[in-house]
Every structure is written in structure tokens, then in C-alpha cells.
Structure 1
Amino acid sequence: MQINVGNGSDRHQVRRSFTTEKAARDFLDETRGSVAAGTYVRGSRRTVDTAIDDWLTSKHRIKASTRRGYKVTLQVVRDELGKVELQKLTKRDVDDLVTALRAGRVEGRKKFSPRSVNQMLGLLIQVLATEQRQGHVVRNVAELVDKVPSDPKKFRTLTETEILRILDHKCRDGHLWTLALYGLRRGEIAGLRWVHVDLVKGTVRIAENRVYAGDGNYVVDTPKSRASARTLPLPADVVTVLKAAKKNQQRERLALGEAYQGGDYVACDEAGEPYTPGLLTFRWGKMLDDLGIDRVRLHDARHSCATLMHLKGQPIAVIAAWLGHSSAAFTMSVYAHSQGDALKAAGESFR
């Protein structure tokens, strides 16, 4: 049987074979109804892999680091379902992938956490939503898949005593750990240039972010968000630490002579080469080991800053602006944590 579908220049022919006249007429009625409702989808052998490629290409406004994160997150979908034709992709296909990832049964990959699975699902939903809007698929099957329930991730923040030990620790990178405990992100520290530090006025301007973009490349881009671009006042003790670090870098420049490279960045080695974000993480861990402090992530120094400000009575809106968040609710839910000492003090307040 051959029928014409579509309107005007978009009209095309569909050929199908049926065993009975009734089946043919039912198909014809259903097809015409879909065309009239605007839900008709022309047959296509377009694959999941192609859809993901096109979706990533369409993301013109995202940063290089965000694009890399999307690619990494969606790679497991491409590996396991990439060759499947979009119009043949089913909810069961996605459910089976989620089950395999949660059980650690995907070759070459560790067991996925609920957060990792839900991130993957969220991006796949976006990919298929774009395909649906373009008329390539009838429905978004990923939207039908349940998210994996999980408890909010718990972080260990540094205690006030640990923070003071780090601040008092004399080492070449001490000024970097001061900035981390001051609330700067790792990428903000790695991207901070001396021209953005005013040691006379006592301010630091967060204007750039240095991040890993994949394939061994690092890029310096604008801050993570509009709210992240901010100028912060520097306490006198932080100014003192930064002045000492700058003088030390100047001594290193003189000692090395023409072999000294750069020196524009606040975070750099003895030859003036800027630190990568990964190197900052490595050196942070080594410093904690030297002090005998249980390891926490470098980003947890930022958590610690928020928590300490919260325990000192600073309004959440102020903390959010300080950290460069656009939402005070996000700051409260993610960054402000109660510590053992604070809970003990709260209990004593009832006596």
C-alpha cells in the first residue's frame, strides 16, 4: 500500500505491506491523524550517536569545561547505545543501562553513583527533547525513566582549629591556601593574575577562571557565572600574606634570570609557570599530609569558608555574594554544614 502524507512541499510517500485491508485502513487513519495533530514522524535511521553529536554542536554558549563535562557524561550512552536507531530506542534500553551502571556491570567502568546516573539521564533527556522538537522521534523515552534516589552528598569541612593550622603553616604555597579558605574556587585561584590583586586598596577581583578543557589542554575563561565575577575586600592579614608571596616570586625571578617565564599568575612555580588546577589539588593534599590533617578536597576549603561564615552569624545572602552564587538557597543547602563543635554548642544552649 502507498499513501501520501504531509502538506505542500513536505508531502512524501510511505510504502507499507499489510495482511488485511482493515490493518491497512487503520494504519492510514492513524497516520492521517498524526499528520493533522502535528505529531507525525517520518521514518529515519538516525542514531543516538548522531543525535548526541548534533546536540553538543548546538551548544554555542557553554564554556569549554562544561562541554568537556557533557562529553564525558554522555560517553557511556554513546558506548552502550550509540548505534541504536533513535526511533527504535526504548525506555527499556535506557532502564537496562541504568541498572547495569548501578550494578557496575558495564565493562571498563566503575559502579555509577546515583548522582552520576542522574546526571547522565538529565543530559540524555535534553538530547532527546531536541530530537523530539525537530520531529525525529515521537516521544522522549528517557523522560519515562525514574531518577535514582540518593541522599544529599555529605562533606567534611575543616574545623576552625584546622583552618588556623593551615593559615599558620609556613610554605611557599601558603597564600594559595589562604585564598582557598577565603572562599575562592580552584579555577579562580589558578586563573588569578597579579593585575587583579590590588594590594594598596586591599581587594581581589575575580575576572578569570582557569580550567581543564580535555586532551591535555587548559583554558582561561570568564568566571563560572555572572555572579562569580566579583570583587572582594581583603582582610589585612590576607594582604600581608599576598605581599610576601609577591616579593618571593620577584626574588625567584631575579635568581632565575632569563629562564624565568611568565610570573603573571598568583599561583605559579619557581620558574613562573602557572599551576594547573590538578597541580593545585595535588599540592593541597600534600600540605594536609604534612600537617597531619585528614584529607579533604581543595573545594572543601570553600565549603569550610561558607560554614565558618555561617557559624559566625553572617547572613546567607552575604555568604552567597561572597562565594559568587546567584542563589542564597543554593548556598544554604550545599555549602553551609553543621560541625561537631557547633552542634555541641547548640546543645549546651538548652541548659
Structure 2
Amino acid sequence: MGRQQLPSGITKVTVKNRRTGKPEPRWRVQLNIGEGDQRHQVRRSFTTEAAARSFRSKTLGDVEAGAYVRGSHRTIEQACADWLTSKHNLKSSTRRGYISALQPVRDQLGEIAVQKLTKRDLDDLVVQLRAGQVERALDDGTTKARKKYAARTINKMIGTLSQVLASEQAQGHLARNVAALVDHVPVEAKEYRTLTEAEMYRVLDHQCRDRHLWTLALYGLRRGEIAGLRWCDVDLTAGTVTIRETRVDGVEGIVVDTPKSRTSARTLPMPVDVVKALKAARKQQWRERLALGEAYAGGEYLASDEAGRPLNTWQISAGWERVLRDLGIERVRLHDARHTCGTLMHLRGVPIREIAQWLGHSSPAFTMATYVHSQGEALKAAGQSFDRVEAT
């Protein structure tokens, strides 16, 4: 049988081995891909004819199937930066979360070409992050070891990077998404402690300047909602609080934004304890305004310091932790005050759908299989569930 003729695009040549100086055969593949402005040449050299034929066959097959990806030096850093830029409708706090999730990838793998990123690269990064063996660059040019990453944080990193690579794949820059092949780290169910009913009332009865903030937290408002609440959103006569906006930590500092979700924008009828605390806080801020005169900064926010300057979310959290320390109560995150609220409502028999709307949940999965809007009277009953039961 005669020797099989080489297919078009493959040429056999002889080259000199740089180490031995002896002549050796090579099979060069040169293919013209695309049309018009997209037309380009693919060149590769192989030591065996079989390898050359395999590459030619696969390349032409990918072109025919629309799966061919042109070679590129585009890096992971460029892909991450472009993906973040393309997310036009993100809330500032969400963008900040994405940037934080991708930072270890950009720091450690940013210079790698997207097309050369492997599953092993990501698996190694996960191992290093879990062991606390990854450093991060500081503004002064030095580096500092990162803390060991929790499973949830690592999984968020993998998930966000997978979105980046899926976008690269959709744009034709990448053949496959290797982040989708990385196993997520098992997450142990985290036990969040809530305040007991007795602890809750100790906080509510604690006389301090920002008592109204802790009262709002224990009655179900998010930290960002408390920070964004203005006095114009409070009706002390009707006893209602309307959530219209939030103040949260964004990419470039504190950002005033819309509530977390459509159902987070809500008007709540506040119980007697809350109204009393808000009236006392309003009087205190008026006294501070009179004392400082023109130096007073405005005080339009419920969460303001003695000079009328709005408190940021970190200041509110720090104040909460000081109160718990003063009262000798075991640490509970400020956000878990919402869990305390929901738990006590549930224990007192408030229907799940009313709890969901009171807390401003955007997903019915948080509280029930099918979300149902509550009427004003039902919300009023939910608020009254906190009224103290007098001993007889």
C-alpha cells in the first residue's frame, strides 16, 4: 500500500535538532480560518504526523461546529475587569461584594492568559486560601497574609469567577469554563445565636443615646435601612416608619441606594416601645441642635452623632457591640437582631407570610412556599405581637 498523502494544510519539513545537530522531521500545520476581517492563519508544528492530523481535524471540526476559539493573550485580570465594567445595573454594595470575591483570583492568577487557566490552578488556589497561605498587596507596597478563607467565601469566589468565564465563553474568547469544574467546599450549617426574650427587653430598656437604633434593629430593620432612615420617613403621630432608601458601604464609600428588593420598600406600623424610643431620640437631637447652633450638621437621619452627622453602618455595628458588652450579653451580630425579631414573632404565632412582609423578604423561600401580600391590619397585628404580656 502506498503512503497516504498528507491532507491540505499539513507540510512535512526537515529541521536541525538544536541539541544534537542532526536533521529531524516536523509536520507543520497552516490553516486559514474565518472570512473577511476575521480571517487569520493558525500555525502549529508537531513531531509526529498523527499529532498534526489530529490538530487539523479538531480545529476544522470546531470551526464547522461554531466552537472554534481564536488564540488570545487576554488575561484573567482583563476578563475580571471587563466583566465588572459590564455589570451596569448592580447596586454599589453588590459590586463591592463581587470585587471582594474576585480579588484573590486577580492577585494570584491575574497575569495568566484566560485560555491557559486550568482547573488545577483554581484547585491550588482554593487549597492555599483555606490554609491561609495567600498574601494580599497593601497600598504601601508591602504584603500581608490573608486570613484563612471560610468555605462560604471560597464558594462565592468560585461562583463569581464562573460567571466571568461564562461571559468569556459566550463572547468567543474561551472554549470552556474551568471554574464550573471546581468542586465547591462543603459548608457546615452555621448556628446563629439570637437574643432571648429577656435579653431583648434588657436592650430595649437600656437607657443610652442610640437606644432608638437598637429598638429598630430588634423590630426587624436591616442595618442599611436604619442608616438610611430619615425623620421625614417617620410619622410619630400615626406610629409608622417607611423604608424608602438605604445607606450602605459601596465601592467608593457610603452610598445612598434604594432598598434591597421591591418588598424591602415598606411602611411598618411600629409598636409602642418603638414610638417611645423614637420620640425620645427626636427630642435629644433637638437639644443637641440647639446646643451646637450653626455648627450642627443637619441631623436629618435617625442615625446621627451628637453633631448631626449621619452614622455609617460600621459605626452603628460598633455601637451595638458596645451596648451588649455594657449589658454583659454574649455577642450577637446586629443583623441577627432581625433573626431575633422573626423568631419571637414565630413563637408568638404570627403567620409566616406576615413575618415575611414585616422583614421585607424578597424571596418567598425565606419564609414560605408561596408569597402572599399582607394587608395593613395583618401587619399591625404583627407589630403588636411584641407588646409585653403583663404578669397577673
Instruction: Give the TM-score normalised by the residue count of structure 2.
Output: 0.82
Displacement of 1:257 in angstroms is 0.8
What is the alpha-carbon distance in structure 1 between the residues aligned to residue 302 and residue 267 of structure 2? 16
What is the alpha-carbon distance in structure 2 between the residues aligned to residue 307 and residue 110 of structure 1? 33
Aligned match of 1:156: 193
Aligned match of 2:325: 289
Residues 162-311 of structure 1 aligned to structure 2 (within 5 Å): 162-215=199-252, 217-311=253-347
Residues 96-107 of structure 1 aligned to structure 2 (within 5 Å): 96-107=124-135
**Aligned residues of 1:175 and 1:241 also touching (Cα < 8 A):** yes
2:45 to 12, 17, 24: 17
Aligned match of 2:170: 133
1:34 aligns with 2:71: no
Aligned match of 2:348: 312
**Aligned residues of 2:70 and 2:173 also touching (Cα < 8 A):** yes
3-state secondary structure, aligned to 1:100: helix
**Aligned residues of 1:45 and 1:86 also touching (Cα < 8 A):** yes
Displacement of 1:20 in angstroms is 4.1
Deviates more, 1:174-183 or 1:242-251: 242-251
Q: Which has more strand, going by share of residues?
A: 2
What is the alpha-carbon distance in structure 2 between the residues aligned to residue 87 and residue 297 of structure 1? 43
What is the alpha-carbon distance in structure 1 between the residues aligned to residue 78 and residue 262 of structure 2? 32
What is the alpha-carbon distance in structure 1 between the residues aligned to residue 273 and residue 148 of structure 2? 45
What is the alpha-carbon distance in structure 1 between the residues aligned to residue 147 and residue 341 of structure 2? 32
CA deviations on 1:275-326 (whole Å, 9 max, x unpaired) are 1110001111111111111111111111111111111111222111111112
What is the alpha-carbon distance in structure 2 between the residues aligned to residue 281 and residue 137 of structure 1? 43
Displacement of 1:9 in angstroms is 4.2
**Aligned residues of 1:90 and 1:141 also touching (Cα < 8 A):** yes
Structure 1 pair 331/80, CA: closer, same or farther in 2 (3 Å)?
A: farther
Deviates more, 1:99-108 or 1:125-134: 99-108
What is the alpha-carbon distance in structure 2 between the residues aligned to residue 232 and residue 181 of structure 1? 14
3-state secondary structure, aligned to 1:272: coil
What is the alpha-carbon distance in structure 2 between the residues aligned to residue 295 and residue 253 of structure 1? 33
Aligned match of 1:142: 179
Q: How many corresponding residue pairs? A: 332
What is the alpha-carbon distance in structure 2 between the residues aligned to residue 275 and residue 69 of structure 1? 21
1:75 to 91, 103, 110: 103
Residues 301-340 of structure 1 aligned to structure 2 (within 5 Å): 301-331=337-367
What is the alpha-carbon distance in structure 1 between the residues aligned to residue 57 and residue 365 of structure 2? 52
Aligned match of 1:337: none
Identical-residue share of aligned pairs (%): 66
What is the alpha-carbon distance in structure 1 between the residues aligned to residue 332 and residue 348 of structure 2? 22
Where does the alignment leave 5 or more consecutive residues of structure 1 unmatched? 334-351
2:149 to 112, 117, 121: 112
Displacement of 1:23 in angstroms is 3.2
CA deviations on 1:245-271 (whole Å, 9 max, x unpaired) are 111111111111111111100110111
Q: Which has more helix, going by share of residues?
A: 1
Amino acid at match of 2:259: P
Instruction: Give the TM-score normalised by the residue count of structure 1.
Output: 0.91
1:124 aligns with 2:161: yes
Structure 1 pair 114/285, CA: closer, same or farther in 2 (3 Å)?
A: same
What is the alpha-carbon distance in structure 2 between the residues aligned to residue 237 and residue 313 of structure 1? 20
What is the alpha-carbon distance in structure 1 between the residues aligned to residue 213 and residue 158 of structure 2? 37
Aligned match of 2:25: none
Amino acid at match of 2:223: R
**Aligned residues of 1:316 and 1:328 also touching (Cα < 8 A):** no
2:92 to 57, 60, 64: 64
What is the alpha-carbon distance in structure 2 between the residues aligned to residue 312 and residue 286 of structure 1? 29
3-state secondary structure, aligned to 1:288: helix
**Aligned residues of 1:213 and 1:219 also touching (Cα < 8 A):** yes
What is the alpha-carbon distance in structure 2 between the residues aligned to residue 160 and residue 19 of structure 1? 77
3-state secondary structure, aligned to 2:100: helix
1:49 aligns with 2:77: yes
Amino acid at match of 2:246: N
Runs of 4+ deviating beyond 4 Å: none
3-state secondary structure, aligned to 1:211: strand
Higher relative contact order (CA 8 A, sep 6+): 1
What is the alpha-carbon distance in structure 2 between the residues aligned to residue 312 and residue 151 of structure 1? 29
